[in-house]
Structure 1
Amino acid sequence: MKCPRCNSQYIVKNGHTHTGQQSFKCRDCSRQFVIAPRHQPLEEDTRELIDRLLLEKISLAGIVRATGVSPRWLQYYVNKKLGAVKRQVEVKSKKKGKLTIQCDEMWLFVRDKDNKQWIWLAIDVLTKEIVGVYIGKRDEAGARGLWDSLPAVYRQCAVSYTDFCPSYGIVFPKKRHRAVGKDTGQTNYIERFNNTLRQRISRLGRKTLSFSKKLSNHMGAIWYFIHEYNASLSLN
């Protein structure tokens, strides 16, 4: 028998684990271990598969069944990963000039339907990049959050097409703001992206068992998808 850390053979028995397995200890490096542990470190391929599955409309329970990881480990992994996602749009740099964006807001809930949240989104009509994101209430503060999330060049130059939500008219510059109906087709790109979100993120389904219990995870899942979506555009 050798120590899995330093390969020393100076090994002694060290009691038992809570499951009854014999525990050993290395006298040279003090590493404690068991023979044939039940839980092995996950391979990198499994972690990459989990990362891809988090971008699809599949519940955490479904990921557990597909990968064989434990529910407790997966929840810990998801909490850590989504908590570290950057809450700021990353888009290609643009020169000042003629820019056009479409904006819309989409309803969702966290834990229960009494805790309503709204995703405010803006899409670049030319590049199809998501250039603005804010999650909050459907009020002036929400429109302000979306406006502040836009890169500076869009706040300076872009013409914005939105629905008739009055908060847009309060926050967005009047000379570059166009409130239009769905029948005009001037907001069709952002409305289509809203549908993509609901189709790809199980937490956003109107009737689902995969809803979020934590707002931080909810926001992290949305940001995680948007970053991957924008990154995929540069590959096409």
Structure 2
Amino acid sequence: MEQSESERSESRPWQRPRKMNVGPAERKASLAGGAALALSGLRNLSRRNYASGLAMIAAGGMFLYRGQTGYCGLYDAMGVDTMHTQPGGLRIEKAVTIGLPPNEVYEFWRNLENLPRFMKHLESVEVTGPRTSHWKAMGPGGISAEWDAEMMEDTPGQQISWHSVGEADIPNKGSVEFKEAPGNRGTEVRVTIDYYPPGGAAGKAAARIAHGVNAQQLEEDLKRLKQILEVGEETTAQRTAD
């Protein structure tokens, strides 16, 4: 008995069409990052660094696939879709150059409990698991908001991305990229954060916090990060004065 098209599709799951769940900007970044990783892997192979070379080529291939197809298996498993983002969101993006290697800047940021040291709106970040954390933010007039977050990507020395989970007071997602700055000037740190304040009275309070975290505020936060990492000075006094 001849199988129907749907039955043939079920018997060949690798050929089923996959819904695109990666947004255009992320696809471009994946293509660029994948090509760079693959090229670095080939260079390592030419230097007989076989283990690291093969690992980088494999990782580069995954990013290239992600960029070309617009599909991410990890996003699919987690129910994340950046191709069809929510309306009414607030996006902020800023970059800073820090005179340290990418790995050192990444390591500082990867310890999420360091974030309130330079991000003025954060009161605390508590690590609750290998990829999960609990965040608390403070806004004008003592307004507070809390949420749980989970990492979506964690590529040492290159990128960290996260998104809120569960009943977040302020649904959000963000990413930070670490790239070698031209002229051996250190690391270019680029941060992108999307906030989606909910509706209702609670949403208005959350929106006041979210809109308080504007591009100027993020720029000041990154300047504090630069000061901590380059000079080694704490900024408690400065934050209190602000």
TM-score norm. by structure 2 comes to 0.25
Structure with the greater alpha carbon radius of gyration? 1
